[in-house]
Amino acid sequence: MAINIREGYEFIVDYYQPGDRIFLFGFSRGAYSARSLPGIIYKCGILRCGHRHRIPQAFNLYKNRNKQDQADPFKQSYCWLQSNNDGIQPAVHLVGVWDTVSALGFPLAPVRSLNPFSKRWYGFHDAYLHHNVAHGYQALSIDDQRKIFHPHLWKERALEGQVMEQVWFSGVHANIGGGYRRSGLSDLALEWMVTKAVAAGLLLWGDQQQRVLRSADATGKIYDSRAGVGKVYLPQLRTIPSGAKIHHSVVERLADSDSHYDPQNLPTNYQRVDNDGPVS
pLDDT tens across the length of the chain (280 residues): 688 899 999 999 999 999 899 999 999 989 999 999 999 999 999 999 899 999 999 999 988 877 788 898 999 999 998 654 455 667 899 999 999 997 655 555 444 444 444 444 344 455 789 999 999 999 999 999 999 899 999 998 778 889 999 999 999 999 999 988 888 899 999 999 999 999 999 998 888 777 777 788 899 999 988 887 778 889 899 999 999 999 999 999 999 988 899 999 999 999 999 988 766 5
Name the residue range of residue 90's domain.
2-278
Strand 163-169, strand 23-27: pairing: unpaired
Q: How far apart are CA 184 and CA 167, in angstroms?
A: 17
Q: How many structural domains compose the chain? A: 1
Contact 62, 130 (CB under 8 A): no
For the chain, what's the residue count? 280
Task: Note the pTM of the prediction, 2 decimals.
Answer: 0.89
Q: In this structure, how many other beta carbons lie within 10 angstroms of the beta carbon of residue 131?
A: 12
pLDDT in tens, 87-115: 566 789 999 999 999 765 555 544 444 44
Contact 220, 180 (CB under 8 A): no
Contact 173, 192 (CB under 8 A): no
Q: What single-letter DSSP state applies at residue 237?
A: P
